[in-house]
């Protein structure tokens, strides 16, 4: 089970990885990837907001070939660069309209090296042509609106952590220390799904069946807290999002031998669960060097 371990992605964004839709004859699929090499940057405006995309030069030339068969950006007359920039973003226009977003305007091209971080990639496919557009700059609401237009395949699966709750780490934490767990239920059947940005809790009735729990707010004062992850859950994407309390979910659950205390996507410590008279605690067995 490969976990999506980017703590900045909530369940909605995780559900969009691999989701797709058609914009006219072009299929647009959302991915997460880090590109490399030399390419083309496309800057544009949408309702006054700045947008920027990057695409590898070879992919860009292949995509533009039906209009201008050129081997490189430099081979295209600079007077045509604004027009070429607009054509490059054309596959997004119908999706933007469906999302109630303004079209991209004032598009322009510049040569650029690949971004150095992992980002969203909007893969546009039209017959044999492929245009991987990496999103460099975009307002979060613009990106969410566009991604909302995409739909996961019925066979798409998500694997996410299950958390019992959260622990507050203290200075001088040592092996054998016991940390109380905040936000835990009385029994080990209700868990916070994707605790880094949990939409709520899920209740397990068996190792293969679960139900989305009624809404419950996370405990307050969790700044700097470590999530206590006890298992990983795998389920069909369409069963987890939209998040619908009471909905049944078919699941696969893989329990961790020791609880993982996680912060910012990194395991800080491992521990054993302890039953207390008024809740749960984690006894520290290992600390990250």
DSSP 174-241: -TT-EEEPBT--SSTTEEEESGGG---EEEESSSSEEEEPPP-PPPS--TTPEEEEEEEEEEEHHHHS
* pLDDT for 262 beyond 70: yes
* 113, part of any domain: yes
168-174 average pLDDT score: 89
Examine the domain organization and report whether 136 and 177 are in the same domain: no
42-48 average pLDDT score: 94
Note the pLDDT tens digit of each residue in 114-132.
999 999 999 999 988 999 9
> pLDDT-derived band of residue 185, with 50, 70 and 90 as boundaries?
confident
Which is more confident, 228 or 68? 228
Nearest to 231 by CA among 160, 137, 156: 160
Supply the CATH number for residue 138's domain.
3.40.1550
**Among residues of the chain, what percentage have pLDDT more than 90?**
82
143-170 average pLDDT score: 94
CA distance readout (Å), 195 to 4, 157, 168, 219: 12, 18, 14, 12
- What pLDDT sits at residue 220? 79
Examine the domain organization and report whether 184 and 236 are in the same domain: yes
Examine the domain organization and report whether 180 and 198 are in the same domain: yes
- What pLDDT sits at residue 221? 78
> pLDDT-derived band of residue 6, with 50, 70 and 90 as boundaries?
low
Examine the domain organization and report whether 98 and 207 are in the same domain: no
* 265, part of any domain: yes
Examine the domain organization and report whether 107 and 50 are in the same domain: yes
Number of domains in the chain: 2
Q: In angstroms, how far is the first alpha carbon of the chain from the final one?
A: 25
Examine the domain organization and report whether 138 and 242 are in the same domain: no
Residue numbers of the domain that contains 78: 20-148
Examine the domain organization and report whether 84 and 177 are in the same domain: no
Q: How far, in Å, CA of 84 to CA of 110, rounded?
A: 11
Q: How far, in Å, CA of 227 to CA of 183, rounded?
A: 10
Examine the domain organization and report whether 259 and 222 are in the same domain: yes
Q: Which residue's entry shows tokens 């040569």?
A: 111
* pLDDT for 5 beyond 80: no
- What pLDDT sits at residue 119? 94
Residue where one domain finishes, among candidates 101, 129, 148: 148
Examine the domain organization and report whether 47 and 129 are in the same domain: yes
* 226, part of any domain: yes
Note the pLDDT tens digit of each residue in 16-33.
999 999 988 899 999 999
4-8 average pLDDT score: 62
Is residue 121 within 8 Å of 32, Cβ to Cβ?
A: yes
Q: How far, in Å, CA of 145 to CA of 90, rounded?
A: 17
107-112 average pLDDT score: 97
215-243 average pLDDT score: 89
* 2, part of any domain: no
Structure tokens at 208: 């293969």
* pLDDT for 209 beyond 80: yes
Residue where one domain finishes, among candidates 101, 124, 148: 148
* 250, part of any domain: yes
E strand or H helix at 59: helix 57-64
Phi, psi of 97, rounded to the nearest 5 degrees: -65, -45
* pLDDT for 222 beyond 70: yes
Residue where one domain finishes, among candidates 107, 125, 148: 148
Nearest to 88 by CA among 52, 138, 37: 52
Examine the domain organization and report whether 141 and 229 are in the same domain: no
* 9, part of any domain: no
CA distance readout (Å), 192 to 72, 114, 135: 50, 37, 30
Phi-psi region of 237 (alpha: psi -120 to 50; beta: other; left: phi over 0): alpha
Say whether 37 sits in a helix, a strand or coil. coil
* 277, part of any domain: yes
Number of helical (H) and strand (E) elements in the chain, helices listed first: 6, 16
Q: Which residues contact 284 (CB under 8 A, 6 or more apart)?
A: 173, 174, 175, 176, 177, 178, 179, 261, 269, 270, 271
- What pLDDT sits at residue 22? 92
């Amino acid at each position: 089970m490969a976990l999506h371990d980017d703590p900045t992605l909530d369940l909605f964004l995780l559900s969009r990885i691999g989701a797709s839709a058609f914009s006219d004859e072009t299929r647009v699929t959302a991915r997460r990837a880090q590109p490399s090499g030399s390419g083309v940057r496309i800057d544009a405006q949408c309702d006054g907001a700045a947008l920027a995309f990057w695409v590898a030069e070879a992919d860009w030339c292949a995509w533009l070939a039906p209009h201008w068969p050129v081997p490189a950006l430099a081979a295209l007359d600079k007077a045509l660069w604004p027009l070429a920039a607009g054509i490059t973003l054309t596959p997004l226009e119908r999706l933007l309209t469906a999302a109630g977003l303004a079209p991209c305007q004032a598009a322009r091209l510049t040569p650029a090296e690949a971004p150095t971080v992992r980002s969203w990639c909007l893969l546009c496919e039209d017959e044999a042509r492929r245009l991987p557009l990496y999103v460099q700059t975009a307002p979060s609401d613009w990106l969410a609106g566009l991604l909302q237009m995409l739909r996961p395949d019925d066979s798409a699966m998500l694997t996410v952590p299950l958390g019992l709750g959260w622990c507050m780490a203290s200075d001088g934490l040592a092996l054998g220390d016991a940390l109380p767990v905040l936000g835990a239920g009385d029994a080990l059947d209700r868990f916070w799904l994707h605790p880094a940005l949990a939409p709520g809790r899920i209740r397990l009735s068996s190792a293969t069946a679960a139900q989305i729990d009624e809404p419950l707010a996370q405990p307050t004062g969790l700044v700097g807290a470590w999530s206590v992850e006890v298992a990983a859950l795998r389920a069909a994407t369409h069963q987890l999002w939209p998040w619908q309390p009471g909905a049944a979910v078919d699941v696969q659950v893989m329990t961790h031998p020791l609880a993982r205390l996680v912060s910012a996507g990194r395991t800080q410590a491992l521990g054993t669960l302890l039953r207390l008279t008024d809740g749960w605690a984690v006894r520290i067995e290992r600390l990250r060097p």
